């Protein structure tokens, strides 16, 4: 196969629930060779598992078939655009069967490949007896009793093999988010498993577009500079054979492609940028360069890679009781104080009712007053306490569903019993199983990925032997450049919020929050390094983060990545917080006061 000079890949979905406009926009105006979709998060897998238990033919991201492919399948096949998606969830074959039925309905002949083998739930019984015992990655806990799902994060090689075999659509189960893009590039450029620098660059390309419009201005710190949100363009990466690539979007669409936007996305949820662990490669992004390349174009290069470890990360989920969350609106004078007292009164009343019925107290409760800057804790502005409209949010956990149903019934009575201006009760809150995440490592030799094309098996070459069975935590980063000097301001100074000096974005990995901080000017980085110490960041976020804070340096883009452990109240469904995924933590950090030379910000 003759290798192309460049390959254009469009990222049409960042999660299950993303807008329906992405795929049609990219097919109509993106001039793409491939279309990739990312649908899966840890929580999504447990939702899909519950759906499959109710209906065996379900368990996949139905939107991929009923919305995305229905809208573009004819045009994609006619234009020769090939599609890769992890929409298979816990039932990749069911997703493929549904797509086949759609193709038959539309009269479109299409070759569909399915990648399976990520489901390791059948191994759980023997893993319980394994020596050394399985241990959770963050806290070392043993395997829980009631595991609902257990899926290994597969790599890109099965996707490459499926495309090599002629598949026009490839549907996978759980794989790392970037693998749908990396598999395309391995196929297009003939990259081998040992081409580590190219694999790292391809993985970064996949990481940039895996969250959809976050690469084209979505969630950008300077949101006011991002035009035409309603018609924002979905991202395109134009990739070269050396692993470098250009980020862009369809012509005439809204949004913003700029170095700072792409830099925010590069740091999003990656942990240590010098050792971003993926099944195909350990990536070092510390020396990556992100540069303007034209209108709405940014060139990215400089990723480095080394051999992967001998383990897959497995994300398991398990049921740990039940959870409910309910809201009321309180209007008028002292709205915040009225809302807080209402929440406390509801919990006290229901606590008495539980005791009277012989039920245990709640496992955990949380009262939040939205609108009062409750996520800012001690850093909330005093004026926020005086707002005249606030939303009370009461959340609780309990091992018995009946206890939470009792709480749900006792929310609405506040509308006539206590604070004036209470409204907005709506319907009674539902009670749902509380699904916790449990991540562990599993030897790659225990996992057997499989590829089938139109039902026929496709030979999958064995994975290359790992460079060594080194635990993930012991993988050494590539040599770094000389450390940046510390710099304290001299002469007259002024205090400004961090947002004047930096862009930032935050996200989650389980109970860990990652916050990327990028200096707005390279020459400001030494001062930020001196003032944005891990200790100071930990102190600023102490009301949210219970564990240590680690700072990783990313000198290639004049940035830091802060990894805050035990920062999300358990993370995902286990968290009681309104911001369970830590999306607001970057905004909270941007309020941190920083002292700078007065000359940097002269009075207007």
Specify whether 50 is located in the same domain as 168: yes
Domain boundary among 282, 308, 334: 308
Q: How far apart are CA 253 and CA 411, in angstroms?
A: 45
Residue 137: both structure tokens together: 């990655």
pLDDT at 478 over 80: no
Q: Quick check: 119 pLDDT over 50?
A: yes
Kindly report the length of the chain: 604
pLDDT of residue 485: 46
- For residue 479, pLDDT beyond 90: no
Q: What pLDDT sits at residue 469?
A: 39
Within 10 angstroms of residue 455's Cβ, the number of other Cβ atoms is: 11
pLDDT of residue 470: 39
d(C-alpha 189, C-alpha 93), whole Å: 28
| C-alpha distance across the termini of the chain, in Å | 62
Task: Give 399 or 55, the one with higher predicted confidence.
Answer: 399
Domain presence at residue 138: no
Give yes or no: residues 385 and 324 share one domain.
yes
335 and 280 in a single domain? The answer is no
pLDDT of residue 513: 96
- Could you tell me what percent of the chain has a pLDDT over 70? 96
Q: Look at residue 484 and tell me if it is in a domain.
A: no
> What span, in angstroms and rounded, lies between the C-alpha atoms of 392 and 336?
8
Contact 89, 40 (CB under 8 A): yes
Q: What integer is the mean pLDDT of 38-61?
A: 86
Angle between helices 22-29 and 70-79 (to 10 degrees): 20
Name the CA radius of gyration of the chain, rounded: 25
Q: Are residue 60 and residue 174 in the same domain, yes or no?
A: yes
Domain boundary among the residues 278, 308, 338 is at: 308
357 lies in which domain range? 316-437
Does residue 166 lie within any of the structural domains?
yes
Bridge partners, 468 (sequence order): none
Q: Which two tokens stand for residue 132?
A: 């050394």
Q: Sorting pLDDT into bands at 50, 70 and 90, what band is 481?
A: very low
Per the model's pLDDT, the better-predicted residue between 376 and 47 turns out to be 376
CA distance 214 to 210: 9
Structural domain contains residue 457: no
Query: d(Cα 443, Cα 476) in Å, to the nearest integer?
Result: 19
Does some domain include residue 209? yes
Query: What is the structure's pLDDT at 4?
Result: 85
- Is residue 59 over pLDDT 70? yes
- Shared domain for 430 and 365, answered yes or no, is yes
User: Do 183 and 50 have their domain in common?
Assistant: yes
| pLDDT value of position 39 | 96
Residue 300 belongs to some domain of the structure: yes
| pLDDT tens for each residue of 173-227 | 999 999 999 999 999 999 999 999 999 999 999 999 999 999 999 999 999 999 9
Instruction: Let me know whether 286 and 216 are in one domain.
Output: yes
When mean pLDDT is compared across 43-57, 251-265, 293-307, 579-593, the lowest value belongs to 43-57
In a domain, 89, yes or no: yes
> How many other β-carbons are positioned within 10 Å of the β-carbon of residue 448?
10
Could you read off the pLDDT of 443-474 as tens digits, one per residue? Answer: 999 999 999 999 999 999 987 776 543 333 33
The percentage of the chain sitting over the pLDDT mark of 90, rounded to a whole number, equals: 86
Same domain membership, residue 105 and residue 15? yes
pTM of the model: 0.93
- The predicted structure's pLDDT at residue 49: 82
Burial 419-446, CB ≥16 within 10 A → b, else e = bebbeebeeebebeebbbbbbbbbebee
Is residue 384 predicted with pLDDT exceeding 80? yes
**Do 527 and 391 reside in the same domain of the chain?**
no
Return the number of other C-beta atoms located less than 10 Å from residue 462's C-beta: 8
* Strand, coil or helix: 483: coil
Instruction: Give the pLDDT confidence of 343-381 residue by residue, as tens digits.
Output: 999 999 999 999 999 999 999 999 999 999 999 999 999
pLDDT at 480: 41
Give the mean pLDDT of the chain: 93
Same domain, 110 and 157: yes
pLDDT recorded at residue 488? 62
Domain CATH for 421: 3.30.70
Distance CA 551, CA 591 (A): 18
With cut-offs at 50, 70 and 90, classify the pLDDT of residue 483: very low
Domain count, the chain: 3
Residue 127 lies in a domain: no
The domain boundary, picked from 253, 277, 308, lies at: 308
Say whether both 255 and 328 belong to one domain: no
User: What's the pLDDT tens digit per position in 69-115?
Assistant: 999 999 999 999 999 999 999 999 999 999 999 999 999 999 999 99
Residue 297 has pLDDT above 90, yes or no: yes
Q: Is the dihedral of CA 312, 317, 318, 323 positive or negative?
A: positive
* Nearest Cα to Cα of residue 35 among 102, 86, 1: 86
The C-alpha atoms of residue 584 and residue 87 are separated, in whole angstroms, by 28
Instruction: Tell me the two tokens of residue 506.
Output: 């935050």
Which pLDDT value is given to residue 425?
84
Q: How far apart are CA 427 and CA 406, in angstroms?
A: 14
Q: Is 465 or 241 the better-scoring residue by pLDDT?
A: 241
303 shares a domain with 362: no
What one-character-per-residue DSSP string does 103-167 give? Answer: HHHHT----EEEEE--B-GGGHHHHHT-SSPP--TTT-PPPPS-EEEEEE-B-SHHHHHHHHTT-
Q: Which spans in 312-417 are helix H?
A: 335-356, 401-409, 414-417
Residue 159 has pLDDT above 50, yes or no: yes
- Give the whole-angstrom CA distance, residue 441 versus residue 362: 33
For residue 602, what pLDDT band results from cuts at 50, 70 and 90? confident
d(CA 536, CA 592): 9
Confidence of residue 138 (pLDDT cuts 50, 70, 90): confident
């Amino acid at each position: 196969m003759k290798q192309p000079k460049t390959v254009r890949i469009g990222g049409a979905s960042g999660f299950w629930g993303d807008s329906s406009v992405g795929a049609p926009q990219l097919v109509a105006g993106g001039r793409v060779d491939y279309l990739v979709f990312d649908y899966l998060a840890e929580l999504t897998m447990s939702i899909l598992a519950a759906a499959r238990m109710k209906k065996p033919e379900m368990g996949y991201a139905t939107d991929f078939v009923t919305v995305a492919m229905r809208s573009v399948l004819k045009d994609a096949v006619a234009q020769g655009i090939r599609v890769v998606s992890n929409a298979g969830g816990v039932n990749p074959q069911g997703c493929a069967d549904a797509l086949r039925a759609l193709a038959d309905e539309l009269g479109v002949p299409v070759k569909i490949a399915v990648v399976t083998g990520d489901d390791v739930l059948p191994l759980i019984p023997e893993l319980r007896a394994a020596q050394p015992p399985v241990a959770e990655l963050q806290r070392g806990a043993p395997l829980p009793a009631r595991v609902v799902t257990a899926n290994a994060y597969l790599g890109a090689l099965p996707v490459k093999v499926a495309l090599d075999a002629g598949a026009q659509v490839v549907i996978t189960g759980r794989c790392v988010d970037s693998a749908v893009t990396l598999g395309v590039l391995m196929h297009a450029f003939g990259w081998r498993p040992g081409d580590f620098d190219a694999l790292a660059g391809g993985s970064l390309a996949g990481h940039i577009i895996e969250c959809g419009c976050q690469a084209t201005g979505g969630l950008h710190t300077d949101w006011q500079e991002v035009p035409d949100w309603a018609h924002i363009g979905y991202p395109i990466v134009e990739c070269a054979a050396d692993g470098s690539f250009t980020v862009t979007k369809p012509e005439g669409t809204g949004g913003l492609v700029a170095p700072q936007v792409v830099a925010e996305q590069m740091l999003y949820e990656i942990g240590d940028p010098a050792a971003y662990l993926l099944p195909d490669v350990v990536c070092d992004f510390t020396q990556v360069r992100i540069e303007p390349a034209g209108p709405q174009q940014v060139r990215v290069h400089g990723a480095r890679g080394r051999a992967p470890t001998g383990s897959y990360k497995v994300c398991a989920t398990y049921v740990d009781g039940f959870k409910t969350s309910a809201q009321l609106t309180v209007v008028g004078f002292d709205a915040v104080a009225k809302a807080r007292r209402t929440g406390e009164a509801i919990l006290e009343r229901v606590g008495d009712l539980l005791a009277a019925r012989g039920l245990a107290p709640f496992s955990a409760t949380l009262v939040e007053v939205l609108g009062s800057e409750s996520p800012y804790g001690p850093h909330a502005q005093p004026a926020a306490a005086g707002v005249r409209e606030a939303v009370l949010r009461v959340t609780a956990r309990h091992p018995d569903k009946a206890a939470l149903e009792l709480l749900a019934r006792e929310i609405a009575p506040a509308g006539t019993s206590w604070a004036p201006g209470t409204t907005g009760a709506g319907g009674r809150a539902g009670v749902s199983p509380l699904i916790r995440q449990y991540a562990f490592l599993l030897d790659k030799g225990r996992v057997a990925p499989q590829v089938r094309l139109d039902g026929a098996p496709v030979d999958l070459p064995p994975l290359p032997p790992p460079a060594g069975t080194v635990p993930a935590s012991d993988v050494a980063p590539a040599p770094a450049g000389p450390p940046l000097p510390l710099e304290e301001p001299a002469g007259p100074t002024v205090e400004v919020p961090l947002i004047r000096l930096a862009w930032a974005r935050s996200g989650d990995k389980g109970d860990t929050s990652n916050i990327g901080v990028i200096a707005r000017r390279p020459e400001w980085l030494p001062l930020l390094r001196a003032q944005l110490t891990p200790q100071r960041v930990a102190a600023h976020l102490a009301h949210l983060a219970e564990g240590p804070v680690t700072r990783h340096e990313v000198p290639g883009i004049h940035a830091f990545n802060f990894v805050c452990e035990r920062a999300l109240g358990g993370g995902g469904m286990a968290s009681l917080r309104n911001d369970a995924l830590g999306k607001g933590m970057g905004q909270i950090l941007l309020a941190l006061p920083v002292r700078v030379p007065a000359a940097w910000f002269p009075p207007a």
